[in-house]
Every structure is written in C-alpha cells, then in structure tokens.
Structure 1
C-alpha cells in the first residue's frame, strides 16, 4: 500500500471515529469509484460536517484554564525560526536535514531545532497532554501542532515545517502575522482554507492564543483527534469568533507553494529546470512521503541543490 492509499485509509478511519459513518454511507455511492475529484468532494463534505460538530461544541466556549508557559530560554522575542524533528536531525530524512542546514546557513543562531530531548527546555505543557502523547493517544503529528502553537504563543517567531523551503529575503520581510490560506474562487466550498505548515506571529498573538486555548481544551477532554486537521478546524473557528481575523491579515497563498511538489510527482525534472524553480519561488512545500520512482529521482536532485543553496 503506497503513501497515498495509507493516507486515504487513515482519513476514512478518522471519519468513522468522528461518528460520520452514516453520512459516509450516504455519500459513498455518489463520490467514490469515479475519479480523484469524487474523493475530494466526499472528503470536503465530511470535513464540513466535522467542522459544524466542532463549532457547535467549541465556538465561543469560555475556557478558564491557564495554558501559558513561561520562557525558559533567553531568546529574542519574535525573531526565532522554529524547526522540529522529534527524533533529532540526524534521524530525519535527507530533505529535512538539507533544509535545516540551509536555514542554519542563512539565519545562524536564530534557528532553533526542537527535539523530544530539548523540547521542555523551551516550554512547558499541561500534564494531560504529555501523558496522552506518551500513551499514544496524541500522535507525533498532532503533538507537533501543540508544540508549534505553544512556542509561537510563548516566544513568537516563525514556524517552518521540516519540508518547507523558505527563502531568506521572504522570511526577513514578513508582516506581523502570516499563515498560508486558499483564496477565492478556489476558497469557495473549502471548510478549512488555511494551513499550518508555515506560521509567523508575534509573541502573545491573540488569535493564536485563542486557537491554543481551543486546541488544548479539546485534548483535555478527548483521547483521539476527531479529524486529522483538528488544528486547522480551530484556526477557522477562532477566526470566526474574532470577526474574520484571517480575512484581515496580509495574504499568503497556500496553492502556489505546492506547485513544484505536485510537478515532481508526475514528471522527471532536470537539474537546471529544478534550479530555476528554486530561484523563482520564495516559499515551497514538499513532502517526505514519496509515491513513485520519478518522485524519488526528483527529490535526490532537490536535496543536492538545497545542499548548495545560499
């Protein structure tokens, strides 16, 4: 089973856990077995139902718990670049290692590598989150969501996923708050038109503080994620609570950064062509889950170029 099929099966299982089996059975005959678009429509309809469920439970919820962490490290507020690989960078895929080294070449000590060993040197987390992570109720993926928002609320700065290449000039000229979003007309019909693989914010950003409050409160009362994109759902809900916060921030497109990743999956690209793309684009999202030989060959070239980039 390839990475794509595994992701589909994992997604379907999460929908069942979310109590959406009746809706799935109704939609299934009309959505699957035809093409990829049918699957996307099926997934979007389930996501919309999940978001409505979460909205009913959490929108406007008054939460009295204090989830704040004190700053354990003396680092400049709002200037840190956060990069995480829980097992340590030597255990990371080659792309992630090359990307980390690229950031270090450009930003030096501003780049902070977060691992399972040093995480709590930077922030604290509620005991219930640590306990559920250690017991496997919270996956490493969802634990990463928790870590990024705790770091950004506590220190500010820029969270860059390990498979995201961000150019120096782009990072240096970010507005006060930045997060990738899908904009109209592509936004129409999307229940979660926002991503979290790149977030730039000032310490104590009120929007992220509210997202953290909702996310932590959710995990306080639940032992599994209602949806893989639970963090994204709370981004949307918090934005609605705050009079459309995400509609009022400087735009950062969520679509174009995926262009090269998708092209590399379909077509073998020459070193020269790949180099041109890397020079042209300022923000690029890639993946560690490679599906075919064409993609693997392209990623070998990408890693080589990234190791040479300044």
Structure 2
C-alpha cells in the first residue's frame, strides 16, 4: 500500500489529525524541538484512540487476579519466526538462528514458518485475508503471532535477526516478564524499557494477553495500522492502566546495554579485542537484514564476515 493510500485510510478510519501529526513529525524529524513536539502529540493522540476503542480489554484484564503469574521455566520454548521457511532465509538470518540454538541452554528452539503456525496457535482467517491483501505487513503479522504464542505457551520470542554470543537465558527465569532494557534514547514511547524483538514471559501473562486481544479486535474493524509500533503503544497503556503490569516492567533489570553495538560496527574490520569489549555484559545483539554488508574492508575481514563464517 502506497503512503498516499495509507494517509487516506488513516483519515477515513481515525480522522484527519493523525495524518497531520504524522506528516508534521516527518517534516520536522531533524528539528529536535519541533520533532519532539509532534512526536509527543502523535503518541498521545494514538494512545488516546487505542485506550478509548479498546477500553473494555484493558479494564477486563485489570480486574483479573493474575497474582505473580507464571514464571519462565528453564525449558520454556524459544520462538523464532521466518514466514518463507528457514532454508530460504538470508545467510545472516541463518547464522543468527544458529547462534540462538547454540546458546539456548535447556530451552527448545521452535522455528515457526507459514507451514506450522497452526500447530501452535489459532490465528483468525480475517488476519490472513488482510495479510494477503497487504493491509497487514509480515512485520505486523509477526507482532500478532509473538503475543499469541507467548500468551498461550509462554517462552522467549526472539526476532530472526538476533545474534547471540553466550548463554542469555539464566537470569530470565526469575521473572514473569522480561525484555531488553537499556538507558533511554530517542522518543520511543517505551523509553527503552522493553523491546518487542526480544520478549519473554510465562504463559497467560496479562501483557501478552492484552496485546493479543487488542490486535485481534483492532484488525476486525481496521484496514490500516495507526502506528508502526502499535505493540509498544499497547504495552505502554497496559502498564499505565494496571499497577501489576507496571511493576513487572519496572522489575526488569538493565541488561544487554550494547545490544545495537554489533550492528554499528558490522562493516568495520573485525577485531577479537573489540568483540571481547562489545561482549562485556552483552550477549544478545540486534542486527538487521535490510542493509548491504561487506565481507572485506581494505582486504581485512569485517564483523559481518566473522558472523557469517566467511572463509577466504
């Protein structure tokens, strides 16, 4: 769907103000003061809309007695998703998955594709229909999938572009909800208190249940996404509306604070000393499959070359 068609649908479904705020935010992206002003205004408009439309979901789950919920177990599954199948995935994705399997400790790694989704969760037909029409992207389908899997089974969701360098699981079993948490940067509504590409929870966790129920209800009546990071908007609202959820998020310790560092240096000459420095207190790294990477810089292998195991 083109940007123009998206704005037309946004105006039709949510009113002209959301389109105006998105356009102004984009126009003033490089202006720190005005960019922040329109980002905050857009976030408030979106969260107000979501809260009002799905008020009953937030209130119903607020009244349930979850106690401390189910904690992650030492054998909770790790979920990794690649729609087309992993055999045809890019080499970077394949190496990321190999690293997850290598460092998963006692956690079974379950690879989800379009062929086996129904073995684990039931996704309504209207979701697949809107996916086929292009109203839902594969990225946002994966948002629906991740919270559905975690709500039903619990476990650890890891995007297929996460690269691990050591056992990343032992601390998690002390929590019923866990994610990457770093010092805030940018204007993200999460304030970097969680990352949707790496979320772990016990089964029937209220955060995942609320996200799942909001997503399924949202796509019943909408054909355009109000916000790319809708999952963060919903988690933010869930924490704002429910003290137990807020407490669970606040309880997450700072962890893997260099999670983006390997991506930053991926096209730089590889150095064991630099890798050891990056690995200090960080063993989960978020990479991206959207960019072009070089195997060599001035005939020296890069970090990308090291990750994919390229041999001269």
Compute the TM-score of the two structures, normalised by the length of structure 1.
Answer: 0.75
Q: Which residue of 2 aligns with 1:52?
A: 48
Q: Are 1:14 and 1:226, in contact at CA under 8 Å, matched by a contact in 2?
A: no
Q: Are 2:148 and 2:212, in contact at CA under 8 Å, matched by a contact in 1?
A: yes
The alpha-carbon distance between structure 1 residues 245 and 133, as it changes in their structure 2 partners (threshold 3 A), is farther
TM-aligned CA deviation for residue 48 of structure 1: 4.0
Query: Per chain length, whose mean CA-contact separation is higher, i.e. which structure has more relative contact order (CA < 8 Å, sep 6+)?
Result: 1
Q: Distance in 2 between matches of 1:21 and 1:232?
A: 20
Gaps of 5+ in 2: 61-72
Q: Within the alignment, does 1:23 sit opposite 2:11 as a pair?
A: no
The alpha-carbon distance between structure 1 residues 24 and 114, as it changes in their structure 2 partners (threshold 3 A), is closer
Q: Distance in 2 between matches of 1:111 and 1:28?
A: 39
Q: Are 1:207 and 1:245, in contact at CA under 8 Å, matched by a contact in 2?
A: no
RMSD of the TM alignment (CA)?
Answer: 3.7
The alpha-carbon distance between structure 1 residues 148 and 255, as it changes in their structure 2 partners (threshold 3 A), is same
The alpha-carbon distance between structure 1 residues 27 and 138, as it changes in their structure 2 partners (threshold 3 A), is closer
Q: Which residue of 2 aligns with 1:105?
A: 102
TM-aligned CA deviation for residue 115 of structure 1: 0.4
Q: Distance in 2 between matches of 1:27 and 1:141?
A: 22
The alpha-carbon distance between structure 1 residues 152 and 180, as it changes in their structure 2 partners (threshold 3 A), is same
Q: Which residue of 1 aligns with 2:67?
A: none
TM-aligned CA deviation for residue 206 of structure 1: 1.9
TM-aligned CA deviation for residue 232 of structure 1: 1.3
Q: Which moved more, 1:113-122 or 1:163-172?
A: 163-172
Q: Distance in 1 between matches of 2:206 and 2:26?
A: 40
Q: Which residue of 1 aligns with 2:170?
A: 172
Q: Which residue of 2 aligns with 1:303?
A: 308
Q: Distance in 1 between matches of 2:75 and 2:305?
A: 34
Q: Within the alignment, does 1:94 sit opposite 2:91 as a pair?
A: yes
TM-aligned CA deviation for residue 207 of structure 1: 2.1
Equivalent runs, 1:151-170 vs 2, <5 Å: 151-170=149-168
The alpha-carbon distance between structure 1 residues 299 and 226, as it changes in their structure 2 partners (threshold 3 A), is same
Compute the TM-score of the two structures, normalised by the length of structure 2.
Answer: 0.75
TM-aligned CA deviation for residue 13 of structure 1: 5.5
TM-aligned CA deviation for residue 278 of structure 1: 5.9
The alpha-carbon distance between structure 1 residues 63 and 238, as it changes in their structure 2 partners (threshold 3 A), is closer
